[in-house]
Structure 1
Amino acid sequence: MKPNPTKRLRTAEEDGDVRETGRGDHGEEERRKTVDVSIIMPVHNASCWLKECLQAILQQDFAGSMELSVFDDASTDDSRKVLEGWRERMEDRGISVVISGHNSSQPRGVGFAKNKAVTQSSGQYLCFQDADDIMFPQRVRLQYETSLRNANCLIGCRVQRLPEGSTERYTRWINSLTQDQLISQAYTSHGPTVVMPTWFCSRKLFLKVGLFDEGGKGVPEDLLFFYQLLRQGGCPFRVDQDLLVYRYHERAATHSVTESVSPFALLPLKFLLHAHT
């Protein structure tokens, strides 16, 4: 497989206003028909991956109603054109499509884009999807069914890595964690062990926790959201099946498994472990 560009950018918000384009965010959220599941997808220069990603969404075996909610975070490639080209196929399958974005000179960050995609969506449940990852056909169905039984949980799943064999130790580690370890290992240097692209939850739970916050350079929005979830009594839960192909980008992250606790995590660890005893 040819090398791919960096997976996604986490950048500080630029100065000035962002003008959004598209049909997604026009204050019509309450007027749109509610669907069972909204697939939440931030996009930034993802054109080379979108075909596989969107085809996998079309192949979901979920029998309920679905929506694809996309926010394009200042892409400079033809991501928006590709997305619009799939609109008719999605709608023919019964999947409604909401696409919006902005054309500023700099992206506002993955947390900003996910917040926008959530705000413009109408699903009772939210399925988070990175634009370069690939769902297995049963992903939405199994995570939806699990979420119905675990209303206060953030639902994850096991993953496969692409390219095959990349980050072998890390992948084996996250896939083998027990339910108790999903909480305790969250405070190692690796952050949330329910990997962000696998997350699925109810809209009610998401809004209870609050929107994503980039938090500053080096502090991922998913880590801050995860800590806030635990502070409010929520917990992670995993479907123990491979439901997502999770693409690895060498320049995007490091994945050396260690049991050490990061200095950043020490304060919430003391508080949150007490809350869950």
Structure 2
Amino acid sequence: MISIIIPTHNRSHDLKMCINNILKQKINEELELIIVDDGSTDQTKKIVMSLCKKHKHLKYLRQDNKGPAAARNLGAKIAKGDIICFTDDDCIPDKDWIKSVLRAHKKNRTVQVIGGLTRVDKNNRTGFITQHLTNSSIKQRFEEKERVIYFPTSNISLKKKVLEQFTFDEKFPFPGGEDLEFGWRLQKNKIKMLYDESIIVTHNLNPSLKSFLKRNYHYGIGNMLVKKMYPEHPLLLNINTKNKLLFYLTMAKGILETPFFGIFQLNKLTQKEKDISAIEKMIFFNYFCLHKLFYMFGNINEFQQNRNTVKKPDFLIIDCTHRCNLRCKMCDIVKDTKKELTTSEIIKVLEQGITWGVKHMVLSGGEPLIRADIFEILEFVKKRSSNVGILSNGTFDEKTFEKLKPYLINNNISLTISIDGVKATTHDYIRGQKGLYEKTMNTLKRLNALKEDYPNMNYGTISIIMNNNLEELEELARTMIGLKANSVQFQPLLANNLAMYKREESKFWIPNNRLKVLENTIKNLKNMKKEHPQIISNSQRELELVKKYFQNKLTANDVCCLAATKTMLVSNDGNITACKTAYGNIKNKLEHVWHSKKAEKTRILVLECEEPCLLPCFVEV
């Protein structure tokens, strides 16, 4: 079965044409057409209900005026199709639209989201310009490759399982930005997307100047909301939101550059459309300029709103102990072991994270597995049918491994093992004791053997990039891939674990005379990323920035710190912290801390950080 969902609001005439067009299409699959009325006050309900009497596979739902994002979610909840399509009420799908969608999904079985071409009649000049700009944004270059970052919801189809995992964000109250945010979330979660121009709809956008200006204003608001949620979004990098001064300077610059924007877009358009007259060029130039101005007015309006854009963190990291059985030469965390969270405190934090719906929860340290109560904590996680990540040095014995096995098999834990060399001498020197490499490798081999029998279990590795192991990192990664690790991650040396924002001298820092070796290592790791994109966790850009980091040239413009935005860190003393400051304590409810004024101030503070790092759980690039 294929399900088609159309959100609608006060466009009964356009909607009727859209429905009739879809109902005329002949397909072999069973069809389900769902109309979600977003609080219309015109004849929408009457028209759709009359059509429902004639067509049993047509369904009508109604909600208060909550916006198209909420309407799509409502339709998706009841949709029964294996493939779910979205289009707009003012669209006319091509006569073979459904066949084209089904053909594309059959041909590309591993692709989960397929978007098509949306066209507008050139005589509808304002709509033509809007759609040209929209279509130009579908693909963007990042991580050294042109990639699909979103699809307009006028022409998109998804496997049902995607919408069971991801929904549209209902913070977006009108059309504009909700599809951009949804697409970027899919991209970040490595959902495969494909652009197929043989899947065609025609968009009958309102041609009036008033609608054009209002539309672009809403796009500006929506996209600024996306910028607040994802500062690293490749389509929005030209907007600087680090502070008010930089933002308004960006806007002033954009206004001054409006004529150049108009010329640039006109040149792009005329390269595709050869039959544009001189008069049309003048008209289109003016529309491009108006688009730019009203889009920026929307940006400014949303920037001034004190809107909490992040409902909850993606990561909840619990610094459960600073005690450790090793004395690694690049780590000073054992200097601070006076305070430690109790069993009940950790379980209380985990319970809140589970109830809140936090996607990733992690026990960090120190060495979490030396806690006497660790299996009591894991038993709680198991009873709640949840999962927690554990960062470990992997030196535990076979007896401990046997006790961990049920939790690994049941996916209650995901282990991340630290390993810093492919040679025993390298790893043991860094970790401060002979024989540690053998212990860690024995653990990794046990994990590999267990994965042979239970392929769905999850474990990975993390390695510190430093002067002592540069020549070994590529071979190390290949060894870990050979051991069937789900993820292999690299993290540049952090000179001070207790005060992450402080840069101190370290004998493990990569000196200038070794930067060429680093460059070659990064080149090799980037090639490995291309070979194993799902296993090497670092992005291409993140790997490239490692060079700037060790050159001491990394700036706040290169990275975006997400401490207190995507990551909540509970320290060993119970404080909830970003790098430089605490903004709450576990004595208070985590959700209340997250939405507090102090948390908002902290989010602004971290954006202004002058000593950026590349810590994977805090930073996006």
TM-score normalised over the length of structure 1: 0.68
Alpha-carbon distance in structure 2 between the residues aligned to 1:50 and 1:89: 16
Alpha-carbon distance in structure 2 between the residues aligned to 1:206 and 1:74: 23
More helix by share: 2
The answer for the alignment partner of 1:47 in structure 2 is 12
SS in 2 for 1:81: helix
Report if aligned partners of 2:101, 2:199 keep a CA contact under 8 Å in 1. no
SS in 2 for 1:108: coil
The answer for the alignment partner of 1:117 in structure 2 is 75
Structure 2 residue ranges without an equivalent (≥5): 143-147, 207-211, 218-222, 238-537, 545-621
For 1:119, give the aligned amino acid.
K
SS in 1 for 2:22: helix
The answer for the alignment partner of 1:247 in structure 2 is 204
Alpha-carbon distance in structure 1 between the residues aligned to 2:17 and 2:129: 26
Report if aligned partners of 1:142, 1:239 keep a CA contact under 8 Å in 2. no
* Larger RCO of the pair (alpha carbons < 8 Å, separation 6+): 1
Deviation, structure 1 residue 202:
0.8
Distance 1:272 1:43, change over 3 A: farther
Alpha-carbon distance in structure 1 between the residues aligned to 2:58 and 2:172: 31
Distance 1:272 1:41, change over 3 A: farther
Deviation, structure 1 residue 40:
0.7
The answer for the alignment partner of 2:119 in structure 1 is 160
1:103-139 Cα offsets, whole Å, 9 max, x none, are x4xx111111111111122111101021111111111
Distance 1:115 1:216, change over 3 A: closer
For 2:61, give the aligned amino acid.
S
Deviation, structure 1 residue 251:
4.4
Alpha-carbon distance in structure 2 between the residues aligned to 1:128 and 1:139: 12
1:10-48 Cα offsets, whole Å, 9 max, x none, are xxxxxxxxxxxxxxxxxxxxxxxxxx1111111211212
The answer for the alignment partner of 2:34 in structure 1 is 69
Deviation, structure 1 residue 169:
4.9
Q: Is 2:173 aligned against 1:225? A: no
More strand by share: 1
Report if aligned partners of 1:182, 1:237 keep a CA contact under 8 Å in 2. no
For 2:117, give the aligned amino acid.
R
Distance 1:237 1:151, change over 3 A: same
The answer for the alignment partner of 1:6 in structure 2 is none
What root-mean-square deviation, in Å, do the aligned CA atoms of Structure 1 and Structure 2 show? 3.3
Question: How many pairs are equivalent?
Answer: 220
The one of 98, 116, 136 aligned to 2:59: 98
Report if aligned partners of 2:110, 2:192 keep a CA contact under 8 Å in 1. no
The answer for the alignment partner of 2:454 in structure 1 is none
Report if aligned partners of 1:194, 1:236 keep a CA contact under 8 Å in 2. no
Report if aligned partners of 2:2, 2:82 keep a CA contact under 8 Å in 1. yes
SS in 2 for 1:267: coil
Report if aligned partners of 2:18, 2:89 keep a CA contact under 8 Å in 1. yes
Of the structure 1 ranges 161-170 and 194-203, higher mean CA displacement relative to structure 2 is found in 161-170
The answer for the alignment partner of 1:267 in structure 2 is 232
The one of 168, 172, 182 aligned to 1:212: 168
The one of 23, 39, 42 aligned to 1:58: 23
SS in 1 for 2:19: helix
1:204-237 Cα offsets, whole Å, 9 max, x none, are 12223x1111335686221121111011101431
Report if aligned partners of 1:38, 1:68 keep a CA contact under 8 Å in 2. yes
The answer for the alignment partner of 2:85 in structure 1 is 127
SS in 1 for 2:195: strand
Alpha-carbon distance in structure 1 between the residues aligned to 2:158 and 2:539: 20
Q: Is 2:46 aligned against 1:81? A: yes
For 1:72, give the aligned amino acid.
D
Alpha-carbon distance in structure 2 between the residues aligned to 1:89 and 1:114: 24
Distance 1:175 1:43, change over 3 A: closer
The answer for the alignment partner of 1:26 in structure 2 is none
Alpha-carbon distance in structure 2 between the residues aligned to 1:273 and 1:225: 22
Distance 1:201 1:242, change over 3 A: closer
1:174-193 Cα offsets, whole Å, 9 max, x none, are 6678xxx72438xxxxx965
Mapping of residues 171-190 of structure 1, within 5 Å? 171-172=131-132, 182-184=139-141
Report if aligned partners of 2:114, 2:157 keep a CA contact under 8 Å in 1. yes
SS in 1 for 2:55: helix
The one of 145, 153, 170 aligned to 2:103: 145
Structure 1 residue ranges without an equivalent (≥5): 1-35, 186-190, 256-260
Report if aligned partners of 1:213, 1:225 keep a CA contact under 8 Å in 2. yes
SS in 1 for 2:45: helix
Alpha-carbon distance in structure 2 between the residues aligned to 1:196 and 1:135: 13
Report if aligned partners of 2:120, 2:202 keep a CA contact under 8 Å in 1. yes
TM-score normalised over the length of structure 2: 0.32
The answer for the alignment partner of 1:27 in structure 2 is none
Of the structure 1 ranges 139-148 and 71-80, higher mean CA displacement relative to structure 2 is found in 139-148
Alpha-carbon distance in structure 1 between the residues aligned to 2:7 and 2:37: 6
Percent identity for Structure 1 against Structure 2: 20
Alpha-carbon distance in structure 1 between the residues aligned to 2:163 and 2:189: 11
